[in-house]
Structure 1
Amino acid sequence: MAIEQDIVIAVARNSNKTIQLANSDLDFSQYTCNIDDLVIDKTNPKWYHYFLCGCKGILDHFTLTDPVGLCLMVDGTVPRSAGLSSSSAFVCAAALATMQANNKQCTKLELADICQHCEKYIGTEGGGMDQSIAFLAEPGTAKLIQFNPIRATDINLPPGAVFVISNSCVQMSKAITSHFNTRVMECRLAAKLLAKSKGFNWKSVQKLGDVQMKFGVSLKDMLQIVKDILHREPYDKNEICSILDITTEELDDDILNEKTRHVHSKLLPRYLVPS
């Protein structure tokens, strides 16, 4: 469900093909670049890279070869790095601003689908729930969000229902640290190990849901399969490579990414089975 905090962008077109980006919060430095030469540094992410993610997503989706320049001022009330999707909100606002400035249109569903892929430009392996609710939220309802294809179903809330979100005031940047991507990687590894154990093509498997579909079993049965096959002790890289019959280099290049291949070998993956 959506929260009342938001990020807004005032945007004007310019004719000099530049992105001129400023923030009402002076903690964030101004940024200028050529819109035809967007550089997103995965190794040293800055606040403006999230705008570039949303912008690039629109440029790529619509195959814009001659986009207009943009002058932009950002303001917002979403606490930064607090787990409340400030980066996703910024990416969505950036995509919407870029699309509108270039006189392009699409549905909210299409825009949510575009934006769920945008943060991958900065190396974050996120899903699409944050972006979907940003565009698809409606008053008085939560949303059941499903993917492939993306769709959202209203879940009516009971009268008087109240949800309290507490900010711990401890910041955690998912782009700078590996914590966020590590959890995604661990689930992907678990899915591949399970598929391999049953003789399926594990290389095509990315999610635990893919494995359940291949097994053709209920969630209850799937939980038992996970308990029977995965051991509680942490796997190391050598064991994973032995099971999948691949080299360490193949593991790093084909399954891990820039933000997870450096993780200590004894932490891959954490035990994922409910006790």
Structure 2
Amino acid sequence: MSVPTVDSLQSIYTNASLIKQGERYDTVIKQFNQIYGRFPEFIVRSPGRVNLIGEHIDYSGYGVLPMAIERDVVQAVATDASNTKVQIANMNPKYPTRTFEYEGEEKVVTIDSSSLEWSNYFKCGYKGMLESSKEKVTPKGMSILVDGTVPAGSGLSSSAAFVCSSALAVITANQLGLSKQELTEVAIVAERNVGVNSGGMDQAASVFAEKNYALYVEFVPKLKTLPVQLPSGASFVIAHTLVTADKFTSGPKHYNLRVVETKMGARILAHCLFGNKLDVVLDTYKQVMDEYFKTKQGISEQDQLTQMLTLVDRYLTNTTGYTVKEMADAAGMVENDVVATYMTRFPVQTDVFRLHQRAVHVLTEARRVQQFIYICHQHEQDVNNTNNNDVLKQLGDIMNSSHESCATSFDCSCPELDQVCNVARQHGAFGARLTGAGWGGAAVFLTTPENVPTLIQAVKEQYYHKNFPEFSKDQLDDAIFPTEPCRGATIFTGFDQS
């Protein structure tokens, strides 16, 4: 299945935002013409996402449940077959115009991952697509204008939206014909060129999401997505704490460290359970779980996860934290091999590795995802749909438990996230939790349509007015906003190209 091409913004956005989005696209097209002296040939867009449940478990192999949001990255593009020069400008003046050249089939383009440079995210998509394409072509020159509305560092996946839209721009410009599946898989790997070890949820949601549905994303044995109908009467609000948490600078102490902690925990568990009997390395909890239960029939995934928690308590016994040597010894590895395998390409900074706590979060969070989807499916089959608030309360309780686990076991919350979630729960949110990597960024609240204005106003008064009294109405509306499940990556051609 390829990324759809549409000629109507109504195919992408909700009716409530069509006028605003139409004005935005007209502005992008006009600005493109002013910069490049021509009109774009097409516009690509990929949305940010909000993860409803399933935080920091994708890189452990477990499925997650995000939904795409209206906020997105749009790229207007024109091509030039006479050269391979790429010019990329941004509607936001803080990001300077950049130019680079195709460097040949072997290298494609140089990306300096040590530099926090905005155009690197475009280069990731450019390099990834051209390296993976079965059709080895000399790429066309491209003139690009980017407009992004996903707040950077918000936990709403601005980087994945940028990389996915960049990859889609390259596919479309060079007629590479890659499917949604291929686009997603390449984008997952491509983003690692900026030094972030991403798991894949962000890219899958940005590409595969469907309007009015959440998206269950599985990664094992291969990437697979399934739309999940959310209960009628469920409304969502996103609040950006304005604590910026970009993965590039915080990765070594936060995101990349958690990847190592989960992978080494899984390796130790695998060594304790299987010794040297296996020919393959198991370094995700999903791999260990699948191997452990492959001869045990009739056990649901929820029950498997519960039993895995018992194994974690039995074998990951050092609750104060492991040193690198202690991890290596427990996993039957050499210390230098641990460093070379897990801490070289994606550096980490820490004194000890808290494997037990991270494992508890991963396994309980994976179980919460299954519970959330089960409740949604049960409600969908309820022909009367008379218990909306009861269902929303059940889902909200799961979201609240998720936030508590993120804050205590995974240590990826912050005081500001805790504060906005508490305010939301006190003013009609059934559930409130951090979303995205955490350590700042955004929270998502589950409420009812009629309560959205009250909830937003309460958070404005008790969080934003106190912490950011100088903010204008537009700034506040940009920080906290309602959202609906939106469509994923799209190519738009419904405009005058002359």
If the TM-score is normalised by the length of the shorter chain, which range does it land in? over 0.9
1:50 to partner: Cα distance: 0.8
User: Which residue does the alignment assign to 1:47?
Assistant: 118
Deviation track 1:21-79 (CA, whole Å, cap 9, x = no partner) reads 11111111221111225111222231111111111111011153411121111101100
User: Which residue does the alignment assign to 2:69?
Assistant: 3
| CA distance in 2 between partners of 1:246 and 1:137 (Å) | 41
User: Which residue does the alignment assign to 1:194?
Assistant: 269
User: Which residue does the alignment assign to 2:256?
Assistant: 181
Residue 223 (structure 1) aligned with residue 309 (structure 2): yes
1:149 to partner: Cα distance: 2.1
User: Which residue does the alignment assign to 1:214?
Assistant: 291
1:163 to partner: Cα distance: 1.5
Q: Helix, strand or coil for the counterpart of 1:32?
A: strand
2:335 to 248, 255, 262: 248
User: Which residue does the alignment assign to 1:18?
Assistant: 85
User: Which residue identity does 2:326 align to in structure 1?
Assistant: E
Question: When you count helix as a share of all residues, which structure comes out higher?
Answer: 2
The 8 Å contact of residues 23 and 30 in structure 1, kept in 2 or not, is answered as: yes
| CA distance in 2 between partners of 1:194 and 1:246 (Å) | 13
| CA distance in 2 between partners of 1:219 and 1:24 (Å) | 47
For residues 174 and 270 of structure 1, do their structure 2 counterparts lie closer, same or farther at Cα, with a shift above 3 Å needed?
farther
1:165 to 238, 241, 263: 238
| CA distance in 2 between partners of 1:172 and 1:73 (Å) | 25
| CA distance in 2 between partners of 1:58 and 1:163 (Å) | 34
1:102 to 141, 160, 174: 174
For residues 220 and 268 of structure 1, do their structure 2 counterparts lie closer, same or farther at Cα, with a shift above 3 Å needed?
closer
| CA distance in 2 between partners of 1:270 and 1:27 (Å) | 43
The 8 Å contact of residues 227 and 273 in structure 1, kept in 2 or not, is answered as: no
| CA distance in 2 between partners of 1:269 and 1:221 (Å) | 17
User: Which residue identity does 1:29 align to in structure 2?
Assistant: P
The 8 Å contact of residues 236 and 268 in structure 1, kept in 2 or not, is answered as: no
Deviation track 1:110-157 (CA, whole Å, cap 9, x = no partner) reads 222221221122221112211111121112111111123222112111
1:268 to partner: Cα distance: 5.6
Q: Helix, strand or coil for the counterpart of 1:228?
A: helix
User: Which residue identity does 1:55 align to in structure 2?
Assistant: Y
Q: Helix, strand or coil for the counterpart of 1:104?
A: coil
The 8 Å contact of residues 142 and 154 in structure 1, kept in 2 or not, is answered as: yes
Question: Mean alpha-carbon deviation: is it higher for 96-105 or for 8-17?
Answer: 8-17
Deviation track 1:152-195 (CA, whole Å, cap 9, x = no partner) reads 11211111211221100111111222221111111111101101
Structure possessing the higher radius of gyration over alpha carbons: 2
User: Which residue identity does 1:149 align to in structure 2?
Assistant: K
| CA distance in 1 between partners of 2:342 and 2:258 (Å) | 13
For residues 4 and 202 of structure 1, do their structure 2 counterparts lie closer, same or farther at Cα, with a shift above 3 Å needed?
farther
Calculate the TM-score normalised by the size of structure 2: 0.52
Residue 155 (structure 1) aligned with residue 248 (structure 2): no
| CA distance in 2 between partners of 1:74 and 1:184 (Å) | 31
1:233 to 320, 332, 342: 320
The 8 Å contact of residues 196 and 202 in structure 1, kept in 2 or not, is answered as: no
| CA distance in 2 between partners of 1:146 and 1:245 (Å) | 30
User: Which residue does the alignment assign to 1:128?
Assistant: 200
1:244 to partner: Cα distance: 3.1
Q: Helix, strand or coil for the counterpart of 2:147?
A: strand
For residues 226 and 268 of structure 1, do their structure 2 counterparts lie closer, same or farther at Cα, with a shift above 3 Å needed?
closer
For residues 105 and 59 of structure 1, do their structure 2 counterparts lie closer, same or farther at Cα, with a shift above 3 Å needed?
same
Question: Mean alpha-carbon deviation: is it higher for 265-274 or for 203-212?
Answer: 265-274
Question: Mean alpha-carbon deviation: is it higher for 122-131 or for 252-261?
Answer: 252-261
| CA distance in 1 between partners of 2:230 and 2:331 (Å) | 45
State how many pairs are aligned: 274
Q: Helix, strand or coil for the counterpart of 1:8?
A: strand
Residue 33 (structure 1) aligned with residue 100 (structure 2): yes
When the two chains are superposed, the root-mean-square deviation of aligned CA atoms in Å is: 1.9
| CA distance in 2 between partners of 1:158 and 1:116 (Å) | 30
User: Which residue does the alignment assign to 1:74?
Assistant: 146
The higher-RCO structure (CA 8 Å, 6+ apart) is 2
| CA distance in 2 between partners of 1:258 and 1:157 (Å) | 39
| Structure 1 segments unaligned to the other structure (5+ residues) | none
1:203 to partner: Cα distance: 6.3
For residues 31 and 84 of structure 1, do their structure 2 counterparts lie closer, same or farther at Cα, with a shift above 3 Å needed?
same
User: Which residue identity does 2:330 align to in structure 1?
Assistant: I
| CA distance in 2 between partners of 1:203 and 1:174 (Å) | 30
Q: Helix, strand or coil for the counterpart of 1:44?
A: coil
Q: Helix, strand or coil for the counterpart of 1:192?
A: helix
User: Which residue identity does 1:129 align to in structure 2?
Assistant: M
1:270 to partner: Cα distance: 6.5
